[in-house]
Amino acid sequence: METKKEERIESAEKHTKFFKKALLIRKVEERLLDLYAEGKLNGTVHTCVGQELTGVAIAEFLEADDFVTSNHRGHGHYIARTGDVDGLIAEVMGKTSGCCNGIGGSQHLVHHKYLSNGIQGGMSPIAAGVALANRLKETNAISVVFIGDGTLGEGLLYETFNLCAIWNLPVLFVLENNRYAQSTSFKQTFGGEVESRARGFGLDYFNSNTWSLDKLLYDAEEAVNRVRGDKQPALLEIETYRLNSHSKGDDNRRDEEVIEYKKQDILNCLKEESSDLFEEWSKEIESSIATAVESAENAPTLEHYPNQANGTLEPVNFSELTSSEDKRINEIIYESLKQEFEKDEACFMLGEDIEYVTDWTSKPYGGAFKVSRDLSTLFKGRVRNTPISEGAIVGIGTGLALEGMKPVVEIMFGDFMTLTFDQLLQHACKFRKMYAEKVNVPLIIRTPMGGKRGYGPTHSQSLEKFFLGIPDLNMIALNHRISPRVIYQSLFNQSDPCLVIENKILYTRKLNENPILGFNYQQSDESFPTLKITPEGVSPDLTIVCYGGILEDVEKAVALVFDEEEILCEVICPSMIQPLNIYPILQSVKQSQHLLIVEEGTSIAALGAEISAQLMENNIVVKKFSRLGNNTIIPCSYVAENNLLPNPENIFKYIKSLMNEHRNYPDLDTKG
């Protein structure tokens, strides 16, 4: 891609501000590499040397409230968009004056409506969610997503393309095609055509390069204006070349190839052909960078970051359980959602098959488990069917939440939560802290978990334990004693992502039906109350901890073991399983000294294991302890499934054997 010398000189004079900005980016990154060599930086520095003009060209046509996401190679995008050299340098140096207070570092930068993250493709649905919020609020803002060619391998990107196309979302995907992903050539991993991939999803396509600034500016303006004007997504492919190694020093490309591109690079040509101008600009820029480095060096280093676990130990007060309503749980969830949607226009729901009637179908639907019912009719445009794209819809929810909306994402079966894991762990749940408390993600995800309906190995699991331990993910498990009304009111006031486990057996149950005779039912004064079921007037022999839909079976077993064995059990059933307030459990076990934990999911490394660890950490003496869960896959046979999962009979047996038998491990006493 060669341009003539005269054209380049003319272009440099005409476009001084762009060249200066590009040179600033290059000089900042060169300085960062020096700082690394001097031992003043740690970790990684992915420079965009050779590619600077992509960010510069796009930034030129953006407006103040446009949203930009970037990736691991984002210093150039950041400077071009924000001009914040000080914040960037300090951030990369781990200083508290950095744009993320030294928490994010090179790959994780934040500024007004600018976020970068180090997970390839992960930011794309989030940018789409922001674009959706802008559509709903009828603003003129667009989203821009910078990606590299290697990221064309990520499936989430195509889920996002599709969603942007069907919902007319103003998102500009800027593909910096530098021909390599880390050490791997684009030719080795890419099939088909970039243009046909984009057009195949209904995106407009533009092609440009960094060797002709005039063309690049023209194409960037066209693409930005098209996306803004038509409110449609587009892909702008910018052919370019990375002149440095992938990161600090890892380069396996042919030397001749790199040398050839170095010769063609616009800034290198400027240095050769207009050396006076280049020197003059360089001096000015280097002096401003020196000032930025000096102030970063003088700023405090981030030295301590609070090591805060997910659990809490907060005293609670119990009072009599108040919930009683002659309604099924799914109906109460529906009514709670309806109430919130009526109250607040910012509520928005998305999920698979959640709409009631659509333009394309003739009979009502309203959710696989009929929880959303007619909400799509009552709140037109605010309850939307999505494609089968769990990762992307959680990302879209995150984008909506970033823009101050109150998104609710329904994942049809909890089993499909695995497809959302990256969006939760690496994005939604990380953002508030990673971006130094500058953003909030009040995202609600609802999903039915659990078995006993004969759905078989991939539609019956209780997978919540795989999400335990994700920092700042709140997890709520509904049960049939604490009203979902109470829970949902609290949920809509949270500022972190919340995952709501709605056991599918529970949907068909009525709130607070069939309490055990002779037992007191109490709830704590927490926003997500803990339930305590205690035998009247006597001290319990055993504490049983459980959560979610299995409570019903635990209660049946407790009644049975009371009648038949005169064993008195106290049940503690938290509705918030993360962060778990261990206090009510400690209180109960301290008294009973015996503990059984019943979980519907696999019990290895699950909530029960965590509870037992916390009991030990708090020096609670437990004379006998056992866990009941299911540690294999769930068979389809309804009978086998019911026999395998915790049920009143096997819980009864567990209680009996725990209280009446001693386990002996003679091998432990023999010396090896």
- Residues making contact with ligand TPP (CB under 6 A): 72-73, 118-120, 148-151, 178, 180-182, 246
Residue 308: count other Cβ atoms within 10 Å of its Cβ.
Answer: 11
The structure tokens listed for 657 are 């054997």
- The least distance separating ligand TPP from the CB of residue 116, rounded to whole angstroms, comes to 12
Which CA distances in Å does 51 have to 345, 541, 578, 579? 42, 70, 44, 44
- The least distance separating ligand TPP from the CB of residue 390, rounded to whole angstroms, comes to 17
Residue 54: count other Cβ atoms within 10 Å of its Cβ.
Answer: 27
Q: What are phi and psi of 18, to 5 degrees?
A: -70, -40
- For ligand TPP, the closer of residues 119 and 571 by Cβ is 119
Q: How far apart are CA 137 and CA 69, in angstroms?
A: 20
Residue at shortest CB range from ligand TPP:
148
Could you give the count of Cα atoms lying within 13 Å of 540 in the half-sphere of its Cβ?
28
The residues, ordered by sequence, that sit 6+ positions from 270 with a Cβ below 8 Å of its Cβ are: 8, 12, 19, 277, 278
The answer to whether 509 touches 369, Cβ cutoff 8 Å, is: no
- For ligand TPP, the closer of residues 73 and 627 by Cβ is 73
- The least distance separating ligand TPP from the CB of residue 469, rounded to whole angstroms, comes to 21
Which CA distances in Å does 467 have to 320, 479, 493? 31, 19, 21
- For ligand TPP, the closer of residues 11 and 178 by Cβ is 178
The structure tokens listed for 620 are 């609670």
Q: How far apart are CA 596 and CA 624, in angstroms?
A: 8
- For ligand TPP, the closer of residues 31 and 246 by Cβ is 246
- For ligand TPP, the closer of residues 31 and 242 by Cβ is 242
Q: How far apart are CA 571 and CA 546, in angstroms?
A: 8
The answer to whether 109 touches 70, Cβ cutoff 8 Å, is: yes
- For ligand TPP, the closer of residues 72 and 465 by Cβ is 72
The structure tokens listed for 170 are 């103003």
- For ligand TPP, the closer of residues 179 and 509 by Cβ is 179
Collapse the DSSP code of 512 into the 3-class scheme (helix H, G, I; strand E, B; otherwise coil) and give the result. Answer: coil
The answer to whether 176 touches 240, Cβ cutoff 8 Å, is: yes
- Chain-centroid distance of CA 250 in Å reads 30
The beta strand positions in 36-190, using DSSP E, are 67-70, 110-111, 114-116, 143-148, 171-177, 180-181, 184-185
- The least distance separating ligand TPP from the CB of residue 156, rounded to whole angstroms, comes to 9
Q: How far apart are CA 220 and CA 395, in angstroms?
A: 26
Task: Return the axis-axis angle of helices 52-60 and 16-37, rounded to nearest 10°.
Answer: 140
- The least distance separating ligand TPP from the CB of residue 354, rounded to whole angstroms, comes to 29
- The least distance separating ligand TPP from the CB of residue 157, rounded to whole angstroms, comes to 10
- For ligand TPP, the closer of residues 72 and 226 by Cβ is 72
- For ligand TPP, the closer of residues 70 and 612 by Cβ is 70
Q: What are phi and psi of 391, to 5 degrees?
A: -60, -50
Residue 319: count other Cβ atoms within 10 Å of its Cβ.
Answer: 10
- For ligand TPP, the closer of residues 118 and 399 by Cβ is 118
- The least distance separating ligand TPP from the CB of residue 262, rounded to whole angstroms, comes to 17
Q: How far apart are CA 404 and CA 443, in angstroms?
A: 10
- The least distance separating ligand TPP from the CB of residue 45, rounded to whole angstroms, comes to 12
- The least distance separating ligand TPP from the CB of residue 242, rounded to whole angstroms, comes to 6
- For ligand TPP, the closer of residues 94 and 121 by Cβ is 121
- The least distance separating ligand TPP from the CB of residue 195, rounded to whole angstroms, comes to 17
- The least distance separating ligand TPP from the CB of residue 651, rounded to whole angstroms, comes to 42
